[in-house]
Amino acid sequence: MSSIAAPGTQGHGLALRAGILAYVGALILIPLSALLFRGLEGGLAGLREAVTESTAWQAVLLTLWTAAIMAVVNALFGTLTAWALVRYRFPGRGMISALVDLPFAVPTLVTGVMLVTLLGPQSVLGGWLAAQRMQVAFAPPSIVLALLFVTLPFVVRAVEPVLMEQDPAEEEAARTLGAGTWTVFLRVLLPPMMPAILSGTIRSFARALGEFGSIVVVSGNIPYRTLTAPIYIFGEIESGQPARAAAVSVVLLAAALALNLGARGIERITGARHGQA
């Protein structure tokens, strides 16, 4: 049985292990168990009933499709960004690279306030959009924008390490064999990137499922139209329906966990590290 440093410190090792297990048990396991138990009070039938209730169901669907659009945009532009950051040198590159980490630092509520300031009817842009009859603030597009801000780093940071490790020899070889740029890209460069793009996108999707602070300010929270699942849950808590809130939470949490597990599996297989800041 190994221990922290070497034989002779086993006592410490066990104490530390017990300590961390107790801490995690108390802080994380117990509250989540309470959530699980309350959510599963009505059994699986209860779960289904809570989620398929019309307002809840619409909220879940909205959450899913806005997250999906965000994921697609993120996959595309995140990859592009990683590509430009790793392979090109251009003025402002350092700044952009630093900016990519910004969403990890900014409070989500502040993100929401920023978006309202930018897009609300009283702003220059918002007024213009309203004149064009384009509803962005307090409508689904604002949700997608908020999600894009919050999850921007995920794909970029996942793809960057892969690009940096790429061996230029393969690319050169393909070119000397006469392959065109597109073929080189699709056959040589993209395949190693795919797992990273996939895992980053999956993680951003999972993150989006639970987003609250930025959306609650900017979406308008209209049931059936701009009410996302986390905000629905919040409403249920405030309306004195913790059981219903817990039930929908359990479903959402299960989805997020499954997705994160999938992403982790992909990362394990490819030996990559989940791109944190």
**Looking at this protein, which amino acid is placed at residue 132?**
Q
Q: Which is nearer to another protein, 9 or 48 (CB)?
A: 9
Whose tokens are 């900014």? That residue is 106
How many Å separate Cα 54 from the centre of its chain?
26
Within 13 Å of residue 250, how many CA atoms lie on the same side as its CB? Answer: 24
CA distances from 124 to 101, 109, 117, 143, 183 (A): 28, 22, 9, 20, 44
CB of 200 to another protein, least distance (A): 14
If the CB atoms of residues 23 and 65 are measured against another protein, the closer one turns out to be 23
**Min CB(93)–another protein separation in Å:** 9
Question: Taking Cα atoms as reference points, which of 185, 182, 190 lies closest to residue 162?
Answer: 190
Residues between 17 and 46 that touch another protein (CB under 8 A): 17, 19-21, 23-24, 27-32, 34-35, 38
> How many CB atoms lie under 10 A from the CB of residue 182?
8
Query: Which lies closer to another protein via its Cβ, residue 198 or residue 217?
Result: 217
Comparing CB distances to another protein, the nearer of 31 and 48 is 31
- Report the SS3 class of residue 122: coil
**Between 4 and 186, whose beta carbon lies closer to another protein?**
4
Backbone angles phi, psi at 184, to 5 degrees: -60, -45
Rounded to 10 deg, the angle between the 54-87 and 190-209 helix axes is 140
> Which C-beta is closer to another protein: that of 126 or that of 200?
126
Shortest distance, position 44 Cβ to another protein, whole Å: 19
Among 47, 56, 142, 149, binds another protein (CB under 8 A): 149
* Near another protein by CB under 8 A: residue from 40, 46, 166, 185: 166
x/- mask, another protein, residues 47-66, rule CB under 8 A, reads -------xx--x--------
Note whether 186 binds another protein by CB under 8 A. Answer: no
* Integer Cα distance of 100 and 160 in angstroms: 12
Least distance CB 178 / another protein (angstroms): 18
| Distance between CA atoms of residues 216 and 162, nearest Å | 35
Give me the least distance between CB of 45 and another protein, in Å please.
19
Size of the site for another protein (CB under 8 A): 121
Site residues for another protein, 222-261, by CB under 8 A, read 222-225, 230-231, 233-235, 237-240, 242, 245-246, 249, 252-253, 256-257, 260
